[in-house]
Structure 1
Amino acid sequence: MIVEMTIQIRVTNFTAGQQWYQTLLNKQPDYVPHEGFAEWELIPGCWLQVAEGQPAEGSGPIRLGVINIEAERDRLMKQLQIERFDIHTREEVPVKWGTLTDPWGNRIGFFQYLNPIDSRSGGCF
């Protein structure tokens, strides 16, 4: 049985990467065990690790659920100077989603449930 999970993203400039992800996640790291490595607990038992190193080509995106994808996109455009990313929907899919790329080439996606009840059911996209 799986009881926890971690996802690791690598950045070539750790200081800039840690700052970028602090802004993206809107919080300080929860755990910094050593130089060149930081972790954020996104939800109980789910950790995002940012480590110094060469990014994995073609991986991702990691998708993060948000309450209001448009507001999150606007915040990130202002605070991280990211380019505006498209938000997509499909009739048969119960979410809207969009993807951006961090300065190191890692793809980060956001999604928002169209029906707020779905977000409480533990559904996944």
Structure 2
Amino acid sequence: MAFSSVLAVAPVKDIDVAAAWYERLFGRQADARPMDGLADWHIAPSGWVQVFRSPEHAGSTLLNLVVDDLDEAISDLAGRGITAGEIQPGGRTVRFSAVHDPDGNRVTLIENPVSS
């Protein structure tokens, strides 16, 4: 079986509140709003993040995003009003830090995930 794309889904209570937060996270509006209660950001050629209104599941997502420079990413987010947690080591050269959306979904920024 072959797969062509990955779509990570973050369930949220209020799509408008969450979409505004993810706009700050990604530094831009959603690439698509294909239906009521759904917003898509195409963050890589075959990787999307979807924010989907699903109150019963809100706050249950763990989303990992790889960044080239963790310090720069944290600084960029701070400029957009998103405060990242403490930088943690994850191996010899791996570092990571997490942020949380308004529903508590955790988005972890990871630098050098393949190097550990």
CA distance in 1, matches of 2:26, 2:93: 24
Alpha-carbon shift at residue 56 of structure 1 (Å): 4.5
Amino acid of the structure 2 residue aligned with 1:18: A
Unaligned runs of 5+ in 2: none
Q: Using CA pairs below 8 Å that are at least 6 residues apart, which structure has the higher relative contact order? A: 2
Q: How far, CA to CA, are the matches of 2:4 and 2:72 in structure 1?
A: 32
Counterpart Cα distance in 2 of 1:23 and 1:59: 18
CA RMSD of aligned residues (A): 2.2
Whole-angstrom CA distance in 2 between matches of 1:81 and 1:5: 25
CA distance in structure 2 between the partners assigned to 1:57 and 1:64 by the alignment? 17
CA distance in 2, matches of 1:14, 1:102: 12
CA distance in 2, matches of 1:67, 1:96: 11
Structure 1 residue 75 displacement after superposition: 2.5
Equivalent pairs, count: 114
Report the alpha carbon displacement of residue 102 of structure 1 after superposing the two structures with TM: 1.4
Looking at structure 2, the residues matched to 30 and 58 of structure 1 have their Cα atoms a distance apart, in angstroms, of 23
Query: What's the offset of the Cα at 1:4?
Result: 0.9
The TM-score normalised by the length of structure 2 is 0.83
- Matched-pair identity in %: 22
Structure 1 stretches of at least 4 aligned residues deviating more than 4 Å after TM superposition: none
CA distance in 2, matches of 1:45, 1:14: 23
